[in-house]
Structure 1
Amino acid sequence: MLFQGVLTKMKTEFSEPIQYFLNLENDFIHLNQLLHKTISLSFVKYQCLNCGNDREIYRQGFCKSCFFEVPQAADWIMRPELSTAHLDKEDRDLEYEKRMQLQPHIVYLANSSNIKVGVTRKSQVPTRWIDQGAHEAIEIVEAPNRYLAGITEVALKEHISDKTNWRKMLTNSVEDEDLKAYRSKLIPFVPEEAKAYVIDENEETELHFPVVQYPEKVNSLNLKKNPEFSGVLKGIKGQYLIFEDNTVFNVRANEGLVVAISVS
């Protein structure tokens, strides 16, 4: 089987285990079915996710000029506390910003390599947790907009990490934690503006990934430097493909690359 198309982040379905799909414009690949098969990846060219041109990808699937222009790459994406749509103030595109920012957002705890605090749109639960490779997660606050969720995250990360150690996540060097207990400890630090949106009571969500063999030591594949790779697929976790020889490939970090994929 031979496929070709521009990479975008894998689509997922919350199931037992998580189901993964790769959308390559003209092909839709159910990746769980490829476990134990040999997959060959070849870098073909670049294709910016905004302008579509063959320009080197700068970040998040965009060429450099698009990255500094499109609203999908504005600073408030990574730093929700910088959101301004609730003030009717434009950053790059007010209509887009209102659509994205002025909707319910969740502040959560997730355990992938360690317990971390994060923010996502309510509509992205549990997709965000899947993308981070979290094996358990719990909501703390449901805010009506991105700004309130953002300032809550800023307050809470004074007391707990907001980072994931992706190498630990991929080697499964993690322990189960009592997220409800951590949640209770953090609630007093929620800012006054967001206290009314604290979720009174809820349970942890558990996630199970389709991995039959975790790498002992992670070797990250860079298709720009090594444009040809072939390996036996042994797992999928977060946005990573895990191969038998300890190679891992971050699909999301390679958005905007056109690749040829063969399966045998």
Structure 2
Amino acid sequence: MQYQGVLTKMQTEIGEPIQYYLIFESDFINVNQLLDKKIKISFVGYQCLACGENKKIYRQGYCYDDFYNRPEVGDWVMRPELSKAHLDIEDRDLEYEKKVQLQPHIVYLANSSNVKVGVTRKTQVPTRWIDQGAHEAIEIVEVPNRYLAGITEVALKEQVADKTNWRTMLKNEVADEDLIAHKNKLKSFLPEEVQEYFIENGKETELHFPVLQYPEKLKSLNLEKTPEYSGILKGIKGQYLIFEDNTVFNVRNNEGYVVELTVN
């Protein structure tokens, strides 16, 4: 079987285990069904997710020009505390920024390589946790806009990490943690204007990934350095494909790359 298309982050569906899908323009693949099969990935070219042109991808699936102009990759995306739509102040496109920023956001704890704090729109729960490869997560606060979530994250990351060690996550060298206890310890560190949004009652969400074999020594696949690769798929975790020879491929980091997939 052969498929060709531009990579975007895998779509997911909560389940036992989580289901993963690669969506192409005229086709889609349930990636779980490819486990234990040999897959060949061939680099074909680029297709910017904004302009659609065959221009070298700069970051996050966008060419250089679009990365510095499109509202969906403004600085406030990675740094929510910079959000200003609640003040009616435009960054790149106020209408877009209001649509995204002025909706309920969750500040959460997730355990993927260690316990970390993060921010996501409420509509992205549990997708965000899946994308990070977290095997457990819990909500701390639900706030009405992205700015409040951002200042909460800034306050809490003085007490807990805000980054995931992707190597530890993929090797599954992760201990179970009592996230409820962690959450309760952090309550006193919440900004004053966020205290009322603390979620008193809440359960941990457990996530199970379709992995048959975890890698021991990681080799990251770079399509520009290795434009053609073949391997037997052994797992999917976060946004990574895990192969039998310890090669791992980050689908999200390769958004905007056009590839041909051959499945044997």
> Which whole-Å CA distance do the structure 2 matches of 1:111 and 1:24 have between them?
31
> Which whole-Å CA distance do the structure 1 matches of 2:21 and 2:194 have between them?
36
Written as runs of structure 1 = structure 2, the 5 A alignment for 1:117-132 is 117-132=117-132
Residue 254 in structure 1 maps to residue 254 in structure 2? yes
Residue 2 of structure 2 aligns with which residue?
Answer: 2
Residue 19 of structure 2 aligns with which residue?
Answer: 19
> Which whole-Å CA distance do the structure 2 matches of 1:114 and 1:248 have between them?
20
Residue 47 of structure 1 aligns with which residue?
Answer: 47
> Which whole-Å CA distance do the structure 1 matches of 2:66 and 2:46 have between them?
14
Residue 79 of structure 1 aligns with which residue?
Answer: 79
**RMSD over aligned Cα, in angstroms?**
0.4
> 1:200 offset after TM fit, Å?
1.2
Written as runs of structure 1 = structure 2, the 5 A alignment for 1:27-176 is 27-176=27-176
Residue 201 of structure 2 aligns with which residue?
Answer: 201
Q: TM (normalized to structure 2)?
A: 1.00
> 1:191 offset after TM fit, Å?
0.1
> 1:152 offset after TM fit, Å?
0.2
Unaligned runs of 5+ residues in structure 2 are none
Residue 235 of structure 1 aligns with which residue?
Answer: 235
Unaligned runs of 5+ residues in structure 1 are none
> Which whole-Å CA distance do the structure 2 matches of 1:7 and 1:169 have between them?
22
Residue 217 of structure 2 aligns with which residue?
Answer: 217
Corresponding letter in the other structure for 2:188: P
> Which whole-Å CA distance do the structure 1 matches of 2:175 and 2:36 have between them?
27
> Which whole-Å CA distance do the structure 1 matches of 2:182 and 2:139 have between them?
11
> Which whole-Å CA distance do the structure 2 matches of 1:125 and 1:245 have between them?
32
> Which whole-Å CA distance do the structure 1 matches of 2:174 and 2:153 have between them?
23
How many residues get paired?
264
DSSP 3-state at the match of 2:99: helix
> 1:121 offset after TM fit, Å?
0.1
DSSP 3-state at the match of 1:142: strand
> Which whole-Å CA distance do the structure 2 matches of 1:162 and 1:242 have between them?
24
